[in-house]
Amino acid sequence: MTTEPQIDSSQVLNALAGAAKRHRPLDVIQEDLDEAKAEHRKLMPLVESERHKEARQKERIQRAELKWKVENPDDPFDADAFSPPLRPYKPDQDLYRRFHAIHYTIADRERELADAQKARALGVSSNE
């Protein structure tokens, strides 16, 4: 049987006070959060476009496979028989990386802002 360590409120306040000293001002954090959300809004249509292109190409390949099976029931599907050859769409991986990274940035800024607001509410932060 393990016992969990007991934490008293002074330890929590000391930890918050230490964290508050590292906090940036609330307006700076909010500004960074707003910039990250603006970047997310800018990237969203581009990502949706890439996802749409990928889905359309998958549909084209599926339709071609069905047509192939009707016309050539004994032969395996040959994507090279079409002009241009049917290949899966390769989305812009750098775009996806930036898009997913911005989610982590937004979450980090929201967490940082919440911590700074908690510290300010408890009166352990000098940041205004």
Mean pLDDT of 11-15: 60
Which of 17-26, 50-59, 88-97, 98-107 is least confident? Answer: 17-26
Higher pLDDT, 124 or 30: 30
| 41: confidence class by pLDDT, cuts 50, 70, 90 | very high
Cβ neighbourhood burial of 119 (10 Å; 0-12, 13-18, 19+): buried
Mean pLDDT of 114-127: 76
| 78: confidence class by pLDDT, cuts 50, 70, 90 | confident
Per-residue pLDDT for 11 more than 70? Answer: no
DSSP class of residue 84?
S
